[in-house]
């Protein structure tokens, strides 16, 4: 199979068939936090139908390792990771400075580039998670620029469409979203929803 987007779609569905219920979309770059939020919207709305689909979650390492690392390493084996990582160092990178007092004990990193530190953190985490039984897929992108971001977005959109069809759902509709919108419009009194509003308010009497 020559198309990486289709390969990713197949691997996601194989993970689901093997009992995984959650895909954790991870990055080691804080600037990718909102890409993770977009990923959740894309895959959640496209695949979450007919009681099917992987639950999409997103994290930014290493900060989220401090909150979720224990579960990812040793918790219920319901998930796998997809790590989105920069394949090559950026043309301009920051190096860790030397600190005379060494108050934080990090002078052993003095002179190291952040790309190299992030890569070592990723490799160490991948090895630990593998030993703990958490499987990982890697998506490598070439640079942090507009063209590469566009390619990455298209890659995920194509993979999502293919994955939905492999799952047996229509990835281009959102019936669940429409259901809650109609209820919300009715309860807020939008014109045309009067009959539905009366029915919903009657149902809500038992929970208020």
Please determine, for residue 1, whether its predicted confidence score (pLDDT) is greater than 70.
no
pTM for the predicted model, two decimal places: 0.87
Which position among 144, 181, 194, 201 bears the catalytic label? 181
* Residue showing tokens 């029915």: 199
Which position among 21, 40, 45, 112 bears the catalytic label? 45
Written as six digits, the tokens of 85 are 């990582």
Q: What are phi and psi of 170, to 5 degrees?
A: -85, 110
66 is catalytic: yes
pLDDT tens per residue across span 120-154: 999 999 999 999 999 999 999 998 899 999 999 99
β-sheet bridge partners, residue 26? 59, 83
* Residue showing tokens 């490598």: 140
Q: Where does residue 81 rank: exposed (0-12), middle (13-18), buried (19+ CB within 10 A)?
A: buried
45 is catalytic: yes
β-sheet bridge partners, residue 105? none
pLDDT band at 91, cuts 50/70/90?
low
Domains of the chain (ranges; CATH) run 4-171 (3.40.50.10490), 174-208 (no CATH)
119 is catalytic: no
């Amino acid at each position: 199979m020559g198309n990486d987007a289709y390969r990713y779609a197949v691997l996601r569905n194989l993970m689901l068939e093997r009992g995984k219920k959650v895909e954790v979309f991870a990055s080691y770059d804080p600037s990718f936090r909102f890409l993770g939020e977009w990923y959740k919207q894309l895959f959640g709305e496209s695949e979450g139908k007919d009681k099917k689909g992987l639950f999409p979650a997103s994290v930014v390492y290493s900060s989220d390792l401090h909150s979720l690392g224990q579960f990812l390493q040793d918790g219920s084996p319901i998930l796998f990771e997809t790590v989105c990582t920069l394949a090559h160092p950026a043309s301009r990178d920051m190096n860790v400075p030397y600190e005379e007092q060494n108050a934080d004990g990090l002078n052993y990193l003095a002179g190291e580039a952040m790309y190299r530190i992030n890569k070592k953190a990723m490799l160490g985490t991948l090895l630990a998670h593998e030993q703990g039984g958490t499987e990982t897929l890697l998506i490598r992108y070439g640079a942090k620029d507009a063209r590469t971001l566009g390619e990455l977005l298209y890659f995920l959109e194509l993979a999502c469409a293919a994955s939905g069809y492999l799952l047996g759902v229509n990835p281009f509709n959102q019936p669940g979203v429409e259901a809650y919108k109609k209820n919300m419009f009715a309860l807020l009194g939008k014109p045309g929803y009067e009959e539905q509003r009366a029915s919903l308010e009657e149902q809500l009497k038992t929970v208020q």
